[in-house]
Structure 1
Amino acid sequence: MINTDDGQFLVKLARSAIETYLNDGRIINVPQDINPHLKEERGVFVTLHRDGELRGCIGFPEPIKPLTEAVIEVAIGAATGDPRFPRVTPDEMKLIQVEVSVLTKPVLMSVQKPIDYLKKIKLGEDGLIVEMGVYRGLLLPQVPVEWKWDTEEFLANTCMKAGLSPDCWLQDGVKIYSFQSQIFNE
């Protein structure tokens, strides 16, 4: 678990990484004097909002990099590399709210039959990854709450995020992973 102070540090780190990159074209260094658990490998997403609307979101679902290193990289990616949005400008950063979601390791969900996912997924707690062959889509735990989706809509939208049909979660060969996240924002 990440405490509130460390969570706010990560949010400030994300903002600093974006602003430095947008203004100076350089990637900031990982701070040296940080809590050792912030150097552990963790999955993380940085989400940018402007006027309550999504403005960018990039992340690592798997724990493949030390957390602070990952935050710097995905923060810059959220501002400059989300293909759904134009690049954030330096002036626009004054209007952007930064959110950091630190993830638990995804766990493959096991059910007797696919319809059982509807009872197993906890809305507002579980994030989902839907995987079928080379297709993979992820939605964070806060997304169905923000959009007021029920569990079936959450599954359908995660399937569509993977580029699959909305009901793919009912098919054989589809893997569904769940994870949780701690959310910190400005």
Structure 2
Amino acid sequence: MEKLTLEEGTFAVKFARTVIESYLTGEDTILVDFPEKFNEPRGVFVSLHTYPEHNLRGCIGIPEPVMPLIDALKEASISAAVNDPRFPAVNLDELDEIVIEVSILTIPKLVEVEDPAEYLEKIKIGRDGLVIECETCRGLLLPQVPVEFDWDVAQYLSNLCLKAGLPPNTWLERKVNIYSFQAQVFEEVMPNSQVVEKIMYGSC
């Protein structure tokens, strides 16, 4: 999967902001010209953070490449702003105090192990985002999360279980499927300002 350039990543972040602004004002975003890569099906997450505290304000995504990136980005942007059940809906006045982050995901791949202890060697902090599946439970954490919280791999896996509504040691004790993915992460430096790429989180 070809990486996005910084210019394309900047477009993604600015498009996410435009989509949110349009939705909150009751308008639709009509876009006729965008980079060709945005026609490709890709997974994407949109994260909103308060500025300057950098507290999470909303985060919703579409992990699997089930639709063109431009459509997935539009859907995830609106959902992050108004449909994250952990937070009240963002209002228009707040947008001047919110930093937007867009994560473009690779396709999740099963981490194959014979012994759960092998996860500790196969998973790398700062590179791998993770998805866990156990019966009807499913949870996902982006690769930047363990970096921000300074987790080691065991803590990362325990918090992944909690995200799925499972006991923290489920990854050690029960049959689970764990998938890893990487992400290109683009984020505004300040609200509605320059966009930078967090290249330490792997590549597409």
* TM-score, normalised with respect to structure 2: 0.88
Partner amino acid, structure 2, of 1:162: A
Once the two structures are superposed, the pairs formed by residues 112-123 of structure 1 within 5 Å of their partners are: 112-123=114-125
Q: 1:160 aligns with which of 162, 169, 174?
A: 162
The number of equivalent residue pairs is 184
Counterpart in the other structure of 1:178: 180
Counterpart in the other structure of 2:101: 99
Counterpart in the other structure of 2:194: none
Q: 1:68 aligns with which of 43, 67, 70?
A: 70
Counterpart in the other structure of 1:33: 33
Counterpart in the other structure of 2:46: 46
Establish whether residue 5 from structure 1 lines up as the match of residue 26 from structure 2.
Answer: no
Alignment partner of 2:17: what SS? Answer: helix
Cα deviation for residue 23 of structure 1 reads 1.5
Alignment partner of 1:116: what SS? Answer: helix
1:135-165 per-position Cα deviation (integer Å, ceiling 9, x unaligned) = 0000000000000001001000011000001
Q: CA separation in 2, counterparts of 1:9 and 1:75? A: 13
Q: Percent identity?
A: 52
Cα deviation for residue 42 of structure 1 reads 0.3
Alignment partner of 2:25: what SS? Answer: helix
Once the two structures are superposed, the pairs formed by residues 128-147 of structure 1 within 5 Å of their partners are: 128-147=130-149
Counterpart in the other structure of 1:86: 88
Q: CA separation in 2, counterparts of 1:171 and 1:7? A: 40
Cα deviation for residue 97 of structure 1 reads 0.3
Unaligned runs of 5+ in 2: 189-204
Q: 1:14 aligns with which of 8, 13, 16?
A: 16
Q: CA separation in 2, counterparts of 1:65 and 1:99? A: 20
Partner amino acid, structure 1, of 2:74: I
Alignment partner of 1:176: what SS? Answer: strand
Q: 1:58 aligns with which of 36, 40, 60?
A: 60
Q: CA separation in 2, counterparts of 1:121 and 1:42? A: 22
Cα deviation for residue 172 of structure 1 reads 3.7
Q: CA separation in 1, counterparts of 2:54 and 2:35? A: 31
Alignment partner of 1:160: what SS? Answer: helix
CA RMSD of aligned residues (A): 0.9
1:13-48 per-position Cα deviation (integer Å, ceiling 9, x unaligned) = 000000110112x3313x222221111000000000
Q: CA separation in 1, counterparts of 2:11 and 2:99? A: 15
Alignment partner of 1:27: what SS? Answer: coil
Partner amino acid, structure 2, of 1:181: A
1:47-106 per-position Cα deviation (integer Å, ceiling 9, x unaligned) = 000031000000011011100111111000000000000000100011000000000000
